Amino acid sequence: MVGIVGYGSYLPRYRIKTSTIAEQWGDNADSIENGLMLTEKTVPGRDEDTVTISVAAAKNALARAGIDPKLIGAVYIGSESHPYAVKPSGTILIDALGIGPEVHVADFEFACKAGSEAMFVAYSHVKSGNMDYAMGIGADTSQGAPGDALEYSAAAGGSAFIFGKENVIADVIATYSYTSDTADFWRRDLQMYPRHGGRFTGEPAYFKHVLNAAQVTMEKANMKAQDFKYAIFHMPNGRFPLKAGKTLGFTDAQMKDGWIVNLMGNTYSGSSITGFSSVLDILKPGERVLLVSFGSGAGSDGFVFEATDQITKVQDKAPKLRDMLENNRIYLSYGQYVAYRKKILFND
């Protein structure tokens, strides 16, 4: 069966606390923390971008897969913060990791779901017999305008997944996508920050797509909420994924291990799939996972995975997500944060 043969993630070490941002703008930190259910978020270092985050995540995925990088037939990076407007992120990554030159490479963009989109296409290549291995990556150094609600959540990180047919650690049982033109969140060309429709990002956008995708994905797999050990939904804040899960009949116990947004923030293309990565770190053979992404604009990809006996052999071969999330953190002041994110103008 076709499935994941290797996975890996990377989170930068830098963090800013919700209370630090609230203090800057005169907001009530307690009310923001409770409202968004966010305590802190990751911030990329000054020498980090979507490419370096993708390379670090993909390196961990290769370590777990234990395959010759040259066997990978396709690499797709999903992100809304590719460092170049014209010049692929993927070409830099393949040359850094010794993949190719016989490889199909493309950069994807679909707000927060570009990562699961990359996985979807990589999986389809292997399933069709086009190639033996394909890699899908989602990574972002997302932007939030100063003083905007997004500034509390827009974070940095990413995950990479290699799909194959041999030594599979998690079979893909079902996939499904649900998409419509919905103007809930966007960023025009050459603009530094995105804009969003406020409350319109909720019911007509996030919940409509996530709930429809989750329901049909489960129907396609002929499964109900109680058939899953874990469920992960895109995490734009802490509250939305928990509400979506409860609506679908999932319990807190099924959601808590993949719900990493309180300490990570929203890593956009790397959000739900990094929650999935943290669950793969602890998944046992036979256990099933529902993963549903969401990208504004808008759409959701649904996946059902089932762990094989192989999974426990690879979990310790690369750093685990919880270690990256909870250890070696370096906290920034608001001043350092705006300098790191280049939110202030510097002289040439």
Binding residues for another protein, rule: CB under 8 A, are: 12-13, 45-49, 51-52, 55-56, 59, 83-84, 92, 95-98, 328, 330, 339, 346, 348
**Set 33, 40, 48, 80: catalytic member:** 80
112 is catalytic: yes
Tell me, rounded to whole angstroms, the distance of Cα 8 from its chain centroid.
11
In the complex, least distance from residue 271 CB atom to another protein, rounded to whole angstroms = 22
**Residues facing 163 on adjacent strands:** 4, 134
- Residues 189 and 148: their CA atoms lie apart, in Å, by 19
CA gap 88, 249 in Å, rounded? 41
Smallest gap from residue 56 Cβ to another protein (A): 7
Count Cα atoms within 13 angstroms, Cβ side, for 224: 2
Residue closer to another protein by CB (options 12, 115) is: 12
Among the listed residues 112, 151, 196, 209, the single catalytic one is 112
As given in the structure block, the two tokens for residue 218 are 């489960």
Closer Cβ to another protein, 49 or 257, answer by number: 49
In whole angstroms, the minimum distance from the beta carbon of 122 to another protein comes to 21
Closest CA to 315 of 75, 55, 58, 60: 60
Nearer to another protein, 54 or 116 (CB): 54
In this structure, are residues 142 and 152 in contact, taking their beta carbons and an 8 Å threshold? Answer: no
Minimum distance, C-beta of residue 346 to another protein, in the bound complex (Å): 7
> What radius of gyration, in Å, describes the C-alpha atoms of the chain?
19
Name the token pair of 166: 């041999």
Q: Is the CB of 52 or the CB of 262 nearer to another protein? A: 52
The helix, strand and coil proportions of the chain, stated in percent and rounded to the nearest 5, come to 40, 25, 35
Nearer to another protein, 96 or 225 (CB): 96
CB of 82 to another protein, least distance (A): 11
Residues labelled as active-site residues: 80, 112, 234
